[in-house]
Amino acid sequence: MSFLFNLIRSVFLRMLELIWSSKTRISNTLSIYVKTNTGKTVHVDLNPKWDIKNVKEIVGKKLDMPPEELKIIFAGKELHNSTTIEECDLGQQSILHAVRTHHRISKLNTSTIEESLSEISEFNDSGSKPLNETLSDLPLDESNELEPNSEEQEKNRAHFYIYCSSPCKSVEVGKLRVRCATCKNGAVTVDRDPQCWPDVLLTHRITVQCENDFCQASILPNDEIESQVHYAQFYFKCSKHISLGENDEAVPLYLVKPNLAKIPCLACTDIRETVLVFPCEAGHVTCLDCFRDYCSARLRERQFQFDDTRGYYTLPCPAGCQNSFIPEIHHFHLLPPQQYEQYQRFGTEEYVLREGGLLCPQPDCGMGIIPPKVENGYTEEDCRKVQCIGGCGFVFCKKCLQGYHVGDCESQAQSSSNLNFQSGYVVDPLKAKDAKWDEASKKTIKISTKPCPKCRTPTERDGGCMHMVCTRAGCGYQWCWVCQTAWTRDCMGNHWFG
């Protein structure tokens, strides 16, 4: 009887254990899509604690391919077998790329196979070492100097900033991604890291190894020899919402930067963690709160200016610098939604006026109208009579903006429309001298060095990306200049080059 009771009890406890483990597994699972270079896509649920070798085994079974012949690519880098899922900066419904590589290992014994695979995984096709080192390869310092406070590290971590038009409709932290510029496929490995914003925003700057079998590369003549070249196309995605696929893109706000150099704001002189750097020669810096105040003050007084070169309604540097118009108008999404709508309306009205049009004078209308010109059979009298079509329907005189009439216009007292009064947003020239991005950054780089986290060799960064490689003989440790820890995919997504 006791035997039967113990049997039932053990079965019951086993069932509870299975139920609990399944709930734990489900709650921690990442739902990921794996796309092959032949166009086939499979769905897998991955535990963040698994490594890429586990992923290859799962994907290999689904695709009926040997796991040892697969390589997994994400965000322009081949993932090392020992890299864990949680190190890859993956979100729900992210896309990994699986590419089959044919290695001749059938005649080798087991030990030779393992050595061969180890050599294959140590270097990727572009000749560079894999992105992630394993923890077992890194000696831990017992003094805990290499173990930064996670909260402090996250607080000081640099980020890219974007405007997510859908579904967030707000300014958020962004993630940098890359694909082939020709076929738009993400199964690529970059030949070098981006080192500045032009590398990301401009085309034909960085080449890639595209794994898409159907991609037609650009053909460039080179000393009478035609060579096929694949170029990288960088883009950004919002890190707040779940991935919507490879077409999920966001607009980069490349003037918004983390204030790693601790530069004071040119208006309030406070040192904030995130700032906006104007595209003037001096690179004046303002905190985001002061930037909103600057935009709001200029907006109330209709003091935005029209950039004839780009055709944008925008603002220059408040310090009065030449050639300092903000080129990407999505930066004005930092304003509240109501003010941004007002900015759009004013910009549209300004465009109409510059094209020789006018605005309907009826209160609460303001419809933009471009009347006909005295040509193509139109008389001067025809052009003087204007009707607000598509708006309130008001018919008025183009000259005096009163209701349409026959004969000369009555003299009207000119309404005060002078908008060139001084704004309440004033910049002290003495404060602006210290709020220069480039000069402060150069001074900081010149006087500061950081030790290699592994061997503590002092290292000076004189430009380029944040991916550091220790040049000391026998070290070669790959680390992040910002985090001062091992270079990870999270570092690449957050602050690859700035």
Mind telling me the catalytic residues? 465
Local structure of 56: helix, strand or coil = helix
**Bridge partners, 307 (sequence order):** 312
Peptide bond preceding 167: is omega within 30 degrees of 0, i.e. cis? Answer: yes
**Bridge partners, 229 (sequence order):** 218
Alpha-carbon distance 151 to 244, whole Å? 29
Q: Which residues of 70-214 form beta strands (DSSP E)?
A: 70-74, 77-78, 95-100, 160-164, 170-180, 188-190, 208-210
Burial class (CB in 10 A: 0-12, 13-18, 19+), 416: exposed
Residue with tokens 């270097």: 123
The residues, ordered by sequence, that sit 6+ positions from 152 with a Cβ below 8 Å of its Cβ are: none
Nearest by Cα to 273 from 398, 420, 404, 155: 155
- Give the amino acid at 370: I
Which string of DSSP letters, residue by residue, matches 84-105?
BGGGTT--TT-EEEEEE-----
The CA distances from residue 475 to 17, 44, 454, 457, 469, in Å, are 46, 37, 8, 10, 9
| CB 319, CB 433: distance < 8 Å | no
Burial class (CB in 10 A: 0-12, 13-18, 19+), 487: buried
Per-residue b or e along 126-159, where b marks 16 or more CB atoms closer than 10 Å to that residue's CB? eebebbbbeeeeeeeeeeeebeeeeeeeeeebbb
Helix and strand element counts for the chain (H, E): 11, 26
Query: Angle 359-360-364 (CA atoms, 0-180°, nearest 5)?
Result: 110
Alpha helices, DSSP H only, in 29-125?
A: 52-63, 110-122
How many residues would you count in the chain?
498
The phi, psi pair for 446, rounded to 5°, reads -70, -40
The residues, ordered by sequence, that sit 6+ positions from 290 with a Cβ below 8 Å of its Cβ are: 265, 266, 267, 268
